[in-house]
């Protein structure tokens, strides 16, 4: 029986690399796959999945209002593909996760998804929360913090390299960058930012 898989990990855990390696393994056995990624993530060029190791493959894209059972799963059945591989799965909506699960259950097509678990505020992404709730198989992919611990969190850094904890969950463009860290170092950065904000407020009160 087909299953719904969720491979989650922080940035630099090799999620896209594993997806593209999985695609290669299927194709090496003469089996086709449908690749899927978020339309809003165009770092590799719209309609492509790329890894930091230089691997790259074309993919179908999804937006929040797409019905993935109709758009992806039914065509996948017609094309007799061996599996559907979805990158950036944290950008899925809860309903889209249900649509992919329906394709697994009703059409017997395995769906392998890859994505982040939480955002820079340590809040779960909608798609990740849904996948953690209903996926048949959940696998953590390990990234390493600079201290050597498992990096399970992400910091958003501004142009000066300072961690920020406010702003939209998804930021397209801008000068922000991201850094994978362990939970301990995420909380350390959060406390430092909170203390700096309190010091600034205190200084303003004294001037007032």
Return the bridge partners of 165, or none: none
Count the Cβ atoms, other than its own, within 10 Å of residue 134.
16
Beta strands in the chain (DSSP E): 4-9, 33-38, 48-50, 56-58, 60-62, 83-86, 111-115, 137-141, 153-157, 163-164, 177-181
Give catalytic status of residue 195 as yes or no. no
Q: What SS3 class is residue 206?
A: helix
3-state SS assignment for residue 183:
helix
Read off φ and ψ for residue 34, nearest 5 degrees.
-105, 125
Instruction: Tell me the β-bridge partners of 115.
Output: 8
Catalytic residue among 23, 46, 70, 88: 88
Residues taking part in catalysis:
88
């Amino acid at each position: 029986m087909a299953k719904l898989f969720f491979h989650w990990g922080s940035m630099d855990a090799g999620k896209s690399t594993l997806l593209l390696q999985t695609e290669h393994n299927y194709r090496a056995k003469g089996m086709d796959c449908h690749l899927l990624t978020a339309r809003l993530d165009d770092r590799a060029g719209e309609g492509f999945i790329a890894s930091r190791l230089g691997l790259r493959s074309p993919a179908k894209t999804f937006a929040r209002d797409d019905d993935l059972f109709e758009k992806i799963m039914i065509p996948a059945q017609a094309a007799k593909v061996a599996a559907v591989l979805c990158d950036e799965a944290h950008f899925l909506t809860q309903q889209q996760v249900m649509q992919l699960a329906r394709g697994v259950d009703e059409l017997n097509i395995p769906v392998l998804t890859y994505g982040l678990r939480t955002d820079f505020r340590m809040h779960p992404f909608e798609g990740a929360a849904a996948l953690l709730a209903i996926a048949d198989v959940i696998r953590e992919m390990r990234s390493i913090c600079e201290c050597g611990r498992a990096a399970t969190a992400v910091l958003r850094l501004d142009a000066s390299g300072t961690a920020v904890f406010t702003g939209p969950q998804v930021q397209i463009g801008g000068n922000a960058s991201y850094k994978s860290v362990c939970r301990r170092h995420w909380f350390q950065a959060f406390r430092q930012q909170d203390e700096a904000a309190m010091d600034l407020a205190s200084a303003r009160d004294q001037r007032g």
